[in-house]
Amino acid sequence: MKKREIKIEFAEYDNSSELDDIDIELVESAKEAVKSSYSPYSEFAVGAAVRLANGVIVKGSNQENGAYPSGLCAERVALFAAGSQYPNVAVEAIAITVKTESSYHKGPLAPCGACCQVMLESETRGKRDMKIIMHGENNSCYVTSNVRSVLPFAFDSDFLK
């Protein structure tokens, strides 16, 4: 038996103002997107924004449904919208934030596993790494350089060939 270790490298920012201007704009777009969340059941509103290689920002928010699991996470809403509107344009980065009833979530928000799989597909489809910016209350952020940083045992299209 061999024991192996997986290390995840990410940058931690105490304040999103430390980010590059284009990443600050992306975080602000995610914060704007959270306002359109339809989350009456969980009261957990999530906003996401993706920046495409052509500079366009596409926003999405979580959309719940009383017939669970018919809703969709903000990350997938944004990525699917970008993919349908700009099918041949790579995604450079995604920013994710959450707002609960009283304030933005205390710490940076990590995407769920299903969203990570869709992010990986978008990254593979675009043939470039996708930066992930996870935003939290008081503007703290975690930033990874690619999807495999948060999904080390990724299932990708290579398994299907």
* Dist CA 126 CA 120 (whole Å): 10
Q: pTM of this prediction?
A: 0.93
> What kind of fold does domain 11-153 have according to CATH?
Cytidine Deaminase; domain 2 (3.40.140)
Residue with tokens 């944004």: 78
Residue-wise pLDDT tens digits, 75-102:
999 999 999 999 999 999 999 999 887 6
> Roughly what angle, to the nearest 10 degrees, separates helices 113-126 and 74-85?
20
Catalytic one of 12, 18, 28, 75: 75
Residue 100: predicted pLDDT: 80
Residue 104: predicted pLDDT: 55
* 63 closest CA partner among 51, 87, 81: 81
Residue 145: predicted pLDDT: 96
Catalytic status, residue 75: yes
Residue 38: predicted pLDDT: 97
Residue 102: predicted pLDDT: 62
Q: Which residues pair with 97 in a beta bridge?
A: 47
Bridge pairing between strands 11-13 and 91-99 = unpaired
Residue 37: predicted pLDDT: 97
Give the residues of the chain that fall short of pLDDT 70.
102-105
Cβ proximity of 150 and 116 under 8 Å: yes
